[in-house]
Chain A
């Protein structure tokens, strides 16, 4: 039957038609056949229905902690021990950027807290108080992990804070933020 052979030739193009993958010329040809063919018209509709059903299928909810879990994994990436703050990033913040200063101070305060050691900062405003002075960080400090904070600050891992070349600068920034806060 030549009609069925024609249908077989068109069959794969029915999907391509639905997917908008046919040339203009070929699309017109296929549409012309479908319009006149009692076999291909319902077949095209059946294929279209598959897409509708798949699109309507319930989507799994995204777990609210997935981003935090990813953050922990990023922070746990095998350590590259070189300093991770690159010059372009510092340039982006600009020299007197209080946002960065406060964020860095919060990171350092948290870092010191995480390490459980004596803070070398003396007076030592609570980390949370420092965080509240940081306009760039609308997060409550206690709500985020050290790893996430490190990511926010674009530092690879908390460990990498140890190798920051300009740690002195951070210490001075903490002092400056404290002075402003107190």
Chain B
């Protein structure tokens, strides 16, 4: 599958009945908005943007480690939603489809040759920071620094572990949904999530 042009939304989750559209319309308010948009209601698109732009930006920033590039890909992802509207048929939650588009865009962006990486020395920075945090003065500040350290360690993970862990642990997607977003098996998602989470746990334990 070509990850660059993947604005289709079919087939990935497989095996759904023909009544999928009806049941997803009931279950997922975003699917209702997208179907309304497909049928001509521009406000549906605006609502989807309002609901999903922030979490998508958060995800893409974690993936790309670059705020400007992440903003650009948020736009690109919604542009693809916009382009796909006329042939949209729901076969998953809207967010799963959106994360699939965004993940493809992010992985593709990460593979671009000579892409600048603003956090190249991320490992060293993270380690130093964790050591410095070892004797907390203020608990709130300490907690914040730990959160930031966790993000840095997350960003140092291999990209698929990073994606799988973020989508599961923070965005609350089910393994089956992450599998669709990453185009891998559920079994692979389970392993990716656990490897990523274990690596972060090990790193963060050093700093406490």
Contacts and interface: CB of A to CB of B under 8 A. Distances in A.
Q: Chain A contact residues (Cβ within 8 angstroms of B): what range? A: 35 or more
B166 interface: yes
B78 A86 contact: no
Interface in B176-208: 190-191, 193-194, 197-198, 200-201, 204-205
A100 to B, nearest CB: 12
Contact of A62 (B40, B42, B54, B168): B54
Given A19-B193, A62-B54, A66-B53, A50 B83 contact: no
Main secondary structure of the interface of A (DSSP, over half): helix
B79 A73 contact: yes
A5 interface: no
A179 interface: no
Given A62-B53, A70-B79, A15 B190 contact: yes
Contacts of B46: 67
Contacts of B190: 12, 15-16, 21
Contact of A154 (B40, B54, B67, B170): B40
Nearest to B203: A50
B193 A46 contact: no
A15 B194 contact: yes
B143 interface: yes
Given A43-B201, A53-B150, A58-B144, 18 more contacts: A11-B194, A12-B190, A12-B191, A12-B194, A15-B197, A19-B174, A21-B175, A47-B198, A50-B150, A53-B149, A54-B166, A54-B200, A55-B169, A56-B147, A59-B54, A67-B49, A154-B40, A154-B42
